[in-house]
Structures are given as structure tokens and as C-alpha cells.
Chains A and B, each alone.
Chain A
Amino acid sequence: MMPIWTKSGEKRPVTLLKVQDCHVLRYVSKEESGGKTAKLLVGGKNVSPFSKPESAHEIFKEAGVPRKQKVSTFNVTDDAIIKPGTPLYAAHFRPGQFVDVTAKTIGKGFQGVMKRWGFKGQPASHGQTKTHRRPGAISTNKAAKVYRGKKMPGKMGNIYRTSFGLKVWRINTKHDIIYVNGSVPGHTNCLVKVRDSKLPTYKDCNKNPPFPTFFADGDEELPEDLFDEEIFQFTDPSVTFA
């Protein structure tokens, strides 16, 4: 994470996400998957092929791509289908877009009810016998049972969570890095899934995105860094208020 400054001098925290060896692996049509839209399987981050059996390598061999650490599905409309085997780059996103980021949260292991669910516990003194961090009562008398989903101690973290509506401030095309506003679930160097935002406020935000994706062998020549309009670039002199 890193600070970034706007043209009016305000500081914003920013997370750096690296697009590492992403390739489209397979196209699954609407009828095949049984969902509402067609799906594209995308894999990221190359990993050694020796730790899994040959049967697991079939998808990668069809696409002509080394074995990937993570394979995820994206729901896609029919006009955005991409041929399996095309690499995906950070330039697929543009500054000013809004993005949802999903990742597995940091695992905290088996945790008690105060840390996991934020219960208040009991006082430290005034006669409390061996009861300082316990849940207390778990149900009423009339119910005569404990409801399903009752908040109790258990394994905390290491589940998929999404942060919605994060603005993309800057894109580095040389190293394939996306600068995304705010924080993102997961530990440093963890695998992360980035999608266009589904929030209704940002429905019409993408003005002219590269559609279906940014192709590196195309005619478009992008500069090394793409900035949002409001970012203060370090090549400019210091901010002054008129």
C-alpha cells in the first residue's frame, strides 16, 4: 500500500495489484454452464507443473499455457468472448473505472466470540467468576433450542470477501500494475480477483474501455503510466492555491 496525492493536495491510500501471467483458459457457453450468461475461465500466476497429476493439466494444454496457480470464472456477455490462450494485461482497466476486488481474508485460526463477532464479554472484576470473554446466553427459554447460524467461537478468516466500488487511480503498463483506492482483503502477495464494479452508482462509469480486452500485439501504443485526471503527478511543480 502506498499514499497518492490529488491535485488539491489530499492524500489517499492506494493498494498496488500486479497482473501476473493471466491467460484465458476456456470458454463455457450459456447452455453448457446452465447459468444466465456465458463464462470464461481465466488463470493467473505461473506455477511448476510437477506438483499435480497429468489429468489436472488438460485445461492448460488445450489453451497452450503453463500451469496456473488459480483458475477463476468470470460471467461474460456474448460480445465480450475472448479466444482461449490470449494473455490479459493491466491495460484492460483504465484510470477512472470502478472495480470490485475479491480475495481470501487473512486466516486467524480458531478465535473466540469477542474477536470473531465483536461481542462485549463480561466485566474484569466485581465478582465475575471465570467469565470474562464468554458468549453468555445463547438462546431464550421459549425457543427450547439453539437457532442455526448462532454466532459462536470457530475458525476465523481465510474466506473469500469482496471490497466493492474501488476507484482505479493509475495503471503501469510496463510492469502491469493497477493502483486501486483503499484497502483490499488478503495478506501481502496473495491472489486477488478484480472485476468491473456491480454497484448501481458506477453502472455508467466506463466511458471507453478497451473492449473485449487490451491486446498487446495491436496498433495501440500506450505510455508507460496512465494517470487519472485528479492525480497529482510528480513531474508537476508543488501545489499552490490561487
Chain B
Amino acid sequence: RVSSDGKPPKFQPPPKPVIVDRKTQKEESRFLSPEFIPPRGRTDPLKYYIERKDMIQRRKVFNIPEFYVGSVLAVTTADPCASDKSKRFVGICIQRGGKGLGATFVLRNVIEDQGVEICYELYSPRIQAIEVLKLEKRLDENLTYLRDALPEYSTFDVNMRPVPRMAHEEIPVNKVQVRMKPKPWSKRWERPKYNIKGIKFELPEHKMKAAQKWSQPWLEFDMLREYDTSKIEEKIRKELSEELEK
């Protein structure tokens, strides 16, 4: 370096390191609750718009957290017959059904060797709190086969502590293969129409092959069954984020 005025060059401190946090720069969670997506039909979209306004209104007052089928939830509801006037139930979410205000989710648990399933409505005013104890996904969208699985897969501790989860982490997928009770089952889960990936089938080979007789390979090419929701979802996400910020 050329020294200025013959004096030794002034000390230049090294440039401060710029920490680029890639995780926060990732887009915000693109989760849209499935009951917002309108079903395909001939109803006037005005009806879904009005329903969504009511749903957003409820979400502003009461927090409905993000959860998937396979996460463990604890729900407190108001009950006039209970001594504390409220009831708490912990269970794994088996299925989410319904669209709009009538959206429901079913929680399953095994209490004192008795399997119990309770169907709650997401927007019912009786629900006082929904906590997500463990947020995770499973390999299937519908875990109704847990009714025919060994009870250890549906038991969850009633006083379980919520599992801490870092923000901006991807939702873990639990790839557990569930072992079943001996047949007969409530439904023939080995048939391809249910498309279940989360069961460890211990049936003989010829039975699995016989079940493939009911497969319908032409269904995935059927264009009339396609329902592309990407554009509808974008619009609804925009609407939701605008309304919830108000």
C-alpha cells in the first residue's frame, strides 16, 4: 500500500461479517387449512366468500393452530355437566373432514384399554382451546386404519407435555409402519383403493397379489377428476393474510 504522508497506513478494521439467515429468508409457511378450499360444484362463489368472512372472524378471536392428520392435539371444550364446566381430551388426529364452517377433525386415544374417538367441529363456539402437543405428518391423509392396528399405536399420555418445535423447521414426517391386529378388519386396507403406505402388511404374498385385482390404474389418467386448486389457493391465501393483518 502506498503510505500517505510517510506515516504508517491507518488501521482499517476488517469488514464486519454479514450473517445471511437463509432460514428466515425462506417464504413464510405456505399452509392453508384444507377447509378454506371450496369443493368443486355449481354453488355460487358468493356463498363461500360469505362463509370465509365468518371463518376469518372466528380465527381473529380464537386461535386455530396449524395441524395435520397424525399430529397429537389437546382440546378443551365447555361442558355444562362437568364439575369444572370444561373437558380436556388428548388424541391423535385421524381425519379432517368438511369444508367451510362445518369443518371437523376426529381425535383418537386409548383410555384404560378402551379406544375412544371424538369428532370436534373446528368453528364450534364450545371449544375453548386447541393445543398442538406434537406437530407431525404421517404417510397417509386418513389414519382410520388405527382402529384395526395394535392399541399401542393409538395410546397417548393424557398429561403429555408439548414437544418443543423450532420455528421455520420443516414439518417432520413420521414414517412409522403400523402393525395390525389379526384379520378381520373393519375395512380391507390392503386393497389399492385406500392406497395406504403406513401399514406393515404381514399377509401372505398370494393375498396381497389377489388384492391388486381391485386396482383401477386408469383413474390417475382421468382428466375429469382433476381439480387444480393452485390458483384458488393463491387467491384465498392473499385474502386471508390481508384480513388477519387488520
Instruction: Give A contacts to B, CB under 8 Å.
Output: 2-3, 5, 9, 11, 16, 18, 172, 175, 177, 188-189, 232, 234-242
Which chain A residues lie closer than 8 Å to B80 at the CB level? 241
B42, B62, B101, B128 interface centre (most CB from chain A within 10 Å): B101
* Chain B contacts with A in 15-46, Cβ cutoff 8 A: 41-44, 46
CB distance from A90 to the nearest CB of B (A): 13
The docked-state distance in angstroms from the alpha carbon of A208 to that of B121 is: 36
The docked-state distance in angstroms from the alpha carbon of A177 to that of B51 is: 12
Contact status of A188 and B43, CB under 8 A, knowing A11-B124, A237-B61, A239-B126? yes
The docked-state distance in angstroms from the alpha carbon of A3 to that of B51 is: 10
B243 CB-CB contact with A under 8 Å: no
The docked-state distance in angstroms from the alpha carbon of A234 to that of B61 is: 8
B42, B54, B125 interface centre (most CB from chain A within 10 Å): B125
Q: State the interface size on chain B (CB cutoff 8 A).
A: 28
Which chain A residues lie closer than 8 Å to B125 at the CB level? 5, 9, 232, 236, 238-239
CB distance from A4 to the nearest CB of B (A): 8
Cross-chain contact A241 with B85 (CB below 8 angstroms): yes
Cross-chain contact B85 with A9 (CB below 8 angstroms): no
Instruction: Name the residue on A nearest B100 (C-beta).
Output: A2
Cross-chain contact B44 with A189 (CB below 8 angstroms): yes
CB distance from A186 to the nearest CB of B (A): 13
Cross-chain contact A2 with B102 (CB below 8 angstroms): yes
Cross-chain contact A16 with B47 (CB below 8 angstroms): yes
CB distance from B72 to the nearest CB of A (A): 22
B179 CB-CB contact with A under 8 Å: no
The docked-state distance in angstroms from the alpha carbon of A123 to that of B126 is: 47
Contact status of A234 and B57, CB under 8 A, knowing A11-B121, A241-B79? yes
Closest 10 CB pairs of A and B: A234-B57, A9-B126, A241-B80, A234-B58, A239-B125, A232-B125, A241-B85, A238-B128, A3-B102, A5-B125
* Per-residue contact bits, chain B 68-106, to A (CB 8 Å; 1 contact, 0 not): 000000000011100001100000000000001110000
CB distance from B53 to the nearest CB of A (A): 9
Cross-chain contact B47 with A236 (CB below 8 angstroms): no
Starting from the known contacts A3-B121, A188-B42, 19 additional A-B residue pairs (CB-CB under 8 Å) come to: A2-B51, A9-B124, A16-B47, A172-B50, A189-B43, A189-B44, A232-B125, A234-B58, A234-B123, A236-B125, A237-B62, A238-B78, A238-B126, A238-B128, A239-B78, A240-B86, A240-B128, A241-B78, A242-B85
Contact status of A240 and B46, CB under 8 A, knowing A5-B124, A9-B125? no
Which chain A residues lie closer than 8 Å to B143 at the CB level? none
Q: From A3, A238, A241, give the contact of B101 (CB < 8 A).
A: A3
7 contacts between A and B (CB under 8 A): A2-B102, A175-B50, A238-B78, A238-B126, A238-B127, A239-B126, A242-B85
Instruction: Give B contacts to A, CB under 8 Å.
Output: 41-44, 46-47, 50-51, 54, 57-58, 61-62, 78-80, 85-86, 100-102, 121, 123-128
The docked-state distance in angstroms from the alpha carbon of A188 to that of B80 is: 37
CB distance from A228 to the nearest CB of B (A): 15
Cross-chain contact B61 with A16 (CB below 8 angstroms): no
The docked-state distance in angstroms from the alpha carbon of A2 to that of B80 is: 25
Cross-chain contact B78 with A9 (CB below 8 angstroms): yes
CB distance from A224 to the nearest CB of B (A): 10
Cross-chain contact B85 with A240 (CB below 8 angstroms): yes
The docked-state distance in angstroms from the alpha carbon of A232 to that of B101 is: 13
Which chain A residues lie closer than 8 Å to B124 at the CB level? 5, 9, 11
Which chain B residues lie closer than 8 Å to A188 at the CB level? 41-44
The docked-state distance in angstroms from the alpha carbon of A2 to that of B51 is: 8
CB distance from A240 to the nearest CB of B (A): 5
Which chain B residues lie closer than 8 Å to A238 at the CB level? 62, 78, 125-128
Contact status of A235 and B42, CB under 8 A, knowing A5-B125, A9-B125, A16-B47? no
Contact status of A234 and B54, CB under 8 A, knowing A188-B43, A189-B42, A189-B43? yes
